[in-house]
């Protein structure tokens, strides 16, 4: 899994450097992919934070936190 992430990152960096050198800039598809990547990362962060808060809330409600002993 991580090898695919490394390959994707390498290709993305190379393409981004080529875009910066090109006077035409990025295509619409490339900007769309960047937006989709940003939305995906934001969604994953939201899910992780919501899960952590829910788990902590459940610990507090159930009395299993270390402060209630």
Can you give the pLDDT at residue 22?
A: 77
Residue 19 resides in a domain: no
C-beta separation of 30 from 19 below 8 A: yes
pLDDT score, position 48:
94
| Residue 13: predicted pLDDT | 86
Structural domains in the chain (count)? 1
Residue 66 covered by a domain: no
* Structural domain boundaries enclosing 52: 25-61
pTM: 0.58
pLDDT of residue 6: 87
Per-residue confidence of the chain (69 residues) as pLDDT tens digits? 678 878 888 888 888 788 777 777 777 888 888 899 889 999 999 999 999 999 999 888 888 655 544
Q: Is residue 5 part of a domain?
A: no
In angstroms, what CA-CA distances link 17 with 22, 60, 61? 9, 49, 51
């Amino acid at each position: 899994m991580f090898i695919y992430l490394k390959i994707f990152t390498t290709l993305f960096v190379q393409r981004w450097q080529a875009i910066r050198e090109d006077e035409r800039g990025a295509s619409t598809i490339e900007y769309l992919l960047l937006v989709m990547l940003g939305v995906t990362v934001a969604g994953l962060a939201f899910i992780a934070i919501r899960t952590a808060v829910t788990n902590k809330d459940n610990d507090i409600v159930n009395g299993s936190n270390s402060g209630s002993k």
